[in-house]
Amino acid sequence: MYATFYQLVRAESRRPEDNEFDRFRLQVDTALFQHYHEEIRFAALSIDGRGVSTYGDYSIVLREVAVRHRATVFTENSYLFFRHNEMKIGDPVPAGHRATWNDRGRLAGAKLGPKLDTDTHQEDFPSLLLAAGTTTANDDFIEVHIYGPVHRKAVERVVGPKQVRKADKVLLQDLKRKLRQVGAKYEACS
Amino acid sequence: MKALLSGQAGVAVLLDGDHMVSFNLDSPDQLLPVAESDIPHIFADTTDVIQLDHTSCDRVVDELERLWRKDRALHLTLILLDSGAETETRRMAAEYLEEQVVATDARDFVCNRLYVAPLPAHADLSGAQGLAAKLQSNQVSMLLNELKRDQARIQRCRETWDSLRSDLFGGIEAKQIFQQVAVDSGIFRRLAGDECDYRDIEAAPKLYIDDSRFQEFENCAEILTTWATAAMRAAAALTPAAPAAAAVPAAHRRFYTGRTSVTEEGRHLDLILETPMLLETHQLQDLVGGVSSGLVACERSEIGDIYRYELRYRGGLFPSSAHALEHAVELQLLKLAIRGESEDFHGERYSVWDVDTRLFPNCCTEILSALMLVGTEFAREKLSHIRDCWQEEVRGNTQMIESTNLFDPDHKFYYRLRDQIARRAELLAWIDQYLSGNLEAASRYAEAHGLI
């Protein structure tokens, strides 16, 4: 099971860092998910399966059938949204930035429509929808909020880099076996 | 400049004032800007982050490579031991692990962790040994052989650790922190390893008190003394105490090693091969004869203990060898009791083989196991030596059955020994093939005779 940050803290298997991010994070999550913020798993909307690389080289693509009935989407990284809009504790989240899973296309259209023009091609869509920055502070993506546990069988595939070093190739080989056991596969990206 | 590094992540973050950049081990020249808030993400879920102060880029790259190698060596070891992993993956793990554990620090890192607790039941240690032997991964073979040898000690050492009260440390969390330091510093391995004799155990607390990693624990000395003492008792329960050399009469002193004779690097291989070799050569007859006559002739019980200790210690590395050795002594004792004299019936050095042939299959298995485990030049040398001894024995026994046949009217003894000699000759042929590099023929023979 994929546990949330709050569940890990409560289980004493992780401790909050003494930094601005972790302090502000609780306020943002409480404002967005009143009384159930501990149950929310965060993800990003992606067309090609690549995740937000500033969080790591690997990303997990979830099966739509496993999350679509319990997922909503948000216009950007919610933490940054609160920062950009200088929102304070108790401020209501303005309308127009959130949608159900089935309406994710509409939210994406509302956000990215201005960036589309006649020179935009289909192959540009993945990087428009999810643009990893140089740091997490300038990532741009549509955040997905999933309510409830995420089981490993919800994993459709893992996307990650090609391995160069021999030892890492072995680790990857074993990872592929474990993925096959849950019906998932590994996809190497360039 | 400061740096944060993790071998698990293969990433380093360089901090120079407010300027922060990171790089991946695969592309150390590609520096990426980092925000302070990203650092927890970069090192998320890693447990090996270290900080270097007043350092340089070159040193950071070197240190990162070292940390990475240690981490991957551990992962490769776990994959190699994983019975659920695919054979090809395990084979690759054995092959690449050999490259990693050549470095002493990587080898120590792996061993320090493997000695913390016994392997779980589903670990396939024998399969891992077989793969390593097939690939002639000598370092890996040695590591696995030692691990197998020390499993019982590891179990006892773990139990003694678990039995230490947490209030001795100042609470459960403090005990966990101490454990991590103990793992890193290799105390578990030291206390559970074969090289740990009684003097070492008693010296252990003093050695580690000077280790800076233990400085933050106020009662470090008490903890280590308590633990080492418990480990000493546990080890004593596993291995019979070595009697003092002074108690051994000069006539019997040649059988007494007191566990102090072999300390050089190749001692493990030596010990693996020593026991089966003893079973087949004159040294075996020497040992068995000496132990038997010592047990019969000696009125002082402590001398009997010396022989039993010697027997158990030498045989302890291979249980079936120990069984065979004990069996040989029993036979010899039986013979002595029947005849009422301490002289061997034939007065020859082949006496044990004359009486019973059951030692032989046990010995074959052990020799071949040892060979499978250690496909090294050292093993080949030993095997060559064994072959020479056996050839001499075959010659001696052939002469002997011709003479004893005159006193063996129904030829039972003759046929039994003749078959025995024939099989020995077959095995000698197999050894010849092996030593001459004809591995295919050697494998065919071994498989056909159920030896491997």
Give the pLDDT confidence of A96-140 residue by residue, as tens digits.
999 999 999 999 999 999 999 999 999 999 999 999 888 888 899
Q: What is the structure's pLDDT at B278?
A: 37
* Cα–Cα distance, A106 to A101 (Å, whole number): 10
Please state, in angstroms and rounded to a whole number, the distance separating the CA atoms of residues B5 and B43: 9
More confident residue, B166 or B245: B166
Predicted pLDDT of residue A180: 93
Q: Which of the four pLDDT bands, split at 50, 70 and 90, describes residue B268?
A: very low
CA atoms within 13 A on the CB side of B75: 21
User: Worst-scoring range by mean pLDDT, B18-32, B71-85, B279-293, B376-390?
Assistant: B279-293
Those residues of chain A whose CB sits closer than 8 Å to some CB in chain B are 17, 19-22, 54-56, 134-137, 164-171, 173-174, 177
Q: Note the pLDDT of residue B62.
A: 94
Residues of A in contact with B32 (CB under 8 A): 134
Choice between B192 and B325, residue whose per-residue pLDDT is larger: B192
Residue B114 scores a pLDDT above 70: yes
pLDDT digits over A6-31, tens only?
877 777 767 777 777 777 888 888 88
More confident residue, B22 or B352: B22
Report the residue of B92, B99, B100, B101 to disrupt the A interface, i.e. the one with the largest count of A CBs within 10 Å.
Answer: B92
Contact B44 A56 (CB under 8 A): yes
Asked if the Cβ–Cβ distance from B92 to A21 is below 8 Å, we say no
Would you say residue A149 has pLDDT above 50? Answer: yes
DSSP designation for B120: P
- Cα angle B2, B13, A164 (rounded to 5 degrees) comes to 135
Q: Tell me the pLDDT tens digit for each residue of B139-152.
A: 999 999 999 988 88
In the predicted structure, residue B158 carries a pLDDT above the cut 70: yes
Distance from CA of B89 to the nearest CA of A (A): 6
pLDDT given for residue B177 in this prediction: 87
| C-alpha span between B34 and B78 (Å, rounded) | 33
**Which range, of A131-135, B326-330, B389-393, averages the lowest pLDDT?**
B326-330
pLDDT at B365 over 60: no
By the 8 A CB rule, do B248 and B256 touch?
A: yes
* pLDDT in the model for residue B101: 85
Residues B63-90: what's their mean pLDDT? 94
Q: What pLDDT is stored for residue B287 in this prediction?
A: 52
Average pLDDT over residues B364-386: 50
Most confident of A58-67, B98-107, B116-125, B148-157: A58-67
Q: For residue B25, what is the nearest residue in chain A, using CA coordinates?
A: A165
Identify the weakest region by mean pLDDT among A150-164, B38-52, B101-115, B284-298.
B284-298
Residue B337 has a pLDDT of 39
- 8 Å CB contact of A165 and B26: yes
Confidence of residue B47 (pLDDT cuts 50, 70, 90): confident
Count of alpha carbons within 13 Å of B157, Cβ hemisphere only? 27
Give the pLDDT band of residue B42 (cuts 50, 70, 90): confident
CB-based contact B37 A165, cutoff 8 Å: no
Q: How far is B35 from chain A (nearest CA, A)?
A: 6
What average pLDDT score do residues B329-347 get?
38
Label residue A144 exposed, middle or buried (CB < 10 Å: 0-12, 13-18, 19+): buried
Tell me the C-alpha distance between B10 and B75, whole Å: 14
Give the per-residue pLDDT at B44.
82
Lowest mean pLDDT among B90-94, B212-216, B408-412, B416-420: B408-412
CB < 8 Å to B96, chain A: 166-167, 170
Determine the distance from the C-alpha atom of residue B300 to the mean position of all C-alpha atoms in its chain, rounded to a whole number. Answer: 34
Model's pTM, two decimal places?
0.63
Nearest CA in chain A to B92: A170
pLDDT for B305: 47
Q: Do A177 and B85 touch (CB under 8 A)?
A: yes
Residue B407 has pLDDT above 70, yes or no: no
Task: Kindly state the average pLDDT of the residues A71-80.
Answer: 94
Interchain contact, A174 vs B36, CB within 8 Å: no
Query: Chain B residue with minimal CA distance to A134?
Result: B33
State how far residue B274 is from chain A, nearest Cα, in angstroms: 35
In the predicted model, is pLDDT for residue A58 greater than 60? yes
Lowest-confidence pick of A17-31, A50-64, B41-55, B259-273:
B259-273
Q: What percent of chain B has pLDDT over 70?
A: 48
Residues of A in contact with B92 (CB under 8 A): 166, 169-170, 173
pLDDT-based confidence at residue A78 (cuts at 50, 70, 90): very high
Both structure tokens of A106: 């509409």
CB pairs A-B closer than 8 Å: 66
User: Does residue B279 carry a pLDDT above 70?
Assistant: no
> Which of the given ranges, A160-174, B308-322, B342-356, B395-409, has the highest pLDDT on average?
A160-174
pLDDT exceeds 90 at position B2:
yes
Reported as a pLDDT band with limits 50, 70 and 90, residue B416 is: low
- Is residue B342's pLDDT more than 50? no
* Contacts B102 to A, Cβ<8 Å: none
Q: What is the mean pLDDT of chain B?
A: 68
- Helix, strand, coil percent content, chain B, rounded in steps of 5: 70, 5, 25
Quote the pLDDT of residue B314: 47
Q: CB A20 to CB B37 under 8 A?
A: yes
pLDDT confidence of A169, banded at 50, 70, 90?
Answer: very high
pLDDT of B299 above 50 = no
Q: How far is A168 from chain B (nearest CA, A)?
A: 8
Q: What's the average model confidence in pLDDT over A38-59?
A: 92
Report the range of poorest mean pLDDT among A42-56, B138-152, B247-261: B247-261
Strand partners, A21: none
Min distance A135 CA to chain B CA atoms (Å): 6
B410 phi/psi in degrees, rounded to 5: -90, 5
Q: What is the pLDDT of residues B232-242, one digit of tens each?
A: 766 665 544 44
Distances in Å between the alpha carbon of B201 and those of B6, B100, B111, B149, B165?
33, 30, 18, 19, 20
- Determine the pLDDT at residue B266: 31
% of chain B beyond a pLDDT of 90:
21
3-state secondary structure of A144: strand
Instruction: Check whether B85 has a pLDDT greater than 50.
Output: yes
Residue B327 has pLDDT above 80, yes or no: no
**Residues B433, B403 contacting (CB under 8 angstroms):** no
Average pLDDT on B198-225 reads: 69
Q: Look at B325 and B99; give whichever has higher pLDDT.
A: B99
Average pLDDT over residues B262-269: 31
Per 3-state DSSP, what percentage of chain A is helix, strand, and coil (rounded to 5)?
A: 45, 20, 35
